[in-house]
Structure 1
Amino acid sequence: MRAFLALEVPDHVAGVLDGIQSELRIGREVPSENFHITLAFLGEQPESDVRALHDILTEGALPAAQIAFNELSCMGGAVPRVLCADVHATDALRTLATSVRRSVSLAGFDVPRRRFRPHVTLKRFGRHISPEQIQQIAGFLQQVGGYPLPSFEPQRLVLFESTLHPDGAQYDALAAYPLGAAGDGACETAT
């Protein structure tokens, strides 16, 4: 199964982000129900390994973290691949991400060392976008650059299964692990 661990974006925040992304007519929109902040991408893994990770996450407590957005930006270099809402990497969020990565490592998964750049992906651009489209994207980013984005405090970390389809990925929540004071080792499992 292809899986990842992420923080969900609440509906009131997803609505704001969805409204912003719909203003840019270039690219493929990510459905608002798929908005999330990935803390650990697991890739394609045997179900038994994912179950072992689930057991570790169920036993431990995860710290809470406030989510605040910095700005909208693009990833991919000179030719943008995605439009995203960048998340401020606070000490609390870094601590949560480190705790999650430690659990992933304890479960035997290879944890690649990468710079932590928390974000919510809003749009995906094709491999062959024109210079005019790149200029339109840059203009859009300047136009919405100072737009205030709401902050929120996620209540849980979610283990998602990702199924790829020609029209995009489908994410299904397999289990959820409470954060902060609610994180007493209790776990919600999807039915």
Structure 2
Amino acid sequence: MSDAPGSAHLRDTAAATVGGDGSLRLFLGLRLAPETLGRVVAWQSAALTGARGRTVPAERLHMTLAFLGRRPVADVDAVTTVLREEAGRSAVGPLVPTAYRETRSVGMVVCADPAGHATRLAERLRARLE
């Protein structure tokens, strides 16, 4: 798998819904570089079509850095500020796919991070936000 763009890119998903308690399920993720996105789409089409696994539309594919769970809507601005600060000083190097797995609600390609850049970014985000 190729690396994500040289710096992290923010994505605002319009599909977010606010819970009855005024909370959102938040996660932080990186967009995939166009070349990587194309390769993942082709791979999942060949490997996961039908009953073999869950495919994800290209526009929803990303690399999750931190899952923050349910957070008050009021936290969104603070979370966005932290993400912008950390992403602005981060570069993500090549990631190496090592496995595929699914949970009840998520399908994922597990990647090694030989240079440790994505791992350190995820650790800093979790430390500041969880």
Q: Same fold (TM over 0.5)?
A: yes
Aligned positions of 1:108-119 closer than 5 A: 111=130
Amino acid at match of 1:91: G
Q: Which has the higher helix share?
A: 2
CA offsets per residue over residues 109-160 of structure 1, 9 Å max, x none? xx3xxxxxxxxxxxxxxxxxxxxxxxxxxxxxxxxxxxxxxxxxxxxxxxxx
Task: Say whether 1:67 aligns with 2:93.
Answer: yes
Amino acid at match of 1:92: H
SS in 1 for 2:90: coil
User: Normalized against structure 2, the TM-score is what?
Assistant: 0.62
**Unaligned runs of at least 5 residues, structure 2:** 1-23
SS in 2 for 1:98: helix
Aligned-CA RMSD value: 2.6
Match of 1:27 among 53, 70, 86: 53
Q: Which has the higher strand share?
A: 1
**Unaligned runs of at least 5 residues, structure 1:** 105-110, 112-191
Which structure has the larger Rg over C-alpha atoms? 1
Match of 2:75 among 49, 56, 76: 49
Aligned positions of 1:6-155 closer than 5 A: 6-24=29-47, 25=49, 26-58=52-84, 60-62=85-87, 63-75=89-101, 82=107, 84=109, 86-104=111-129, 111=130
Identity %: 28
Residue 57 of structure 1 deviates from its aligned partner by: 4.0
Aligned CA distance change for structure 1 residues 57 and 93 (closer, same or farther; 3 Å): closer
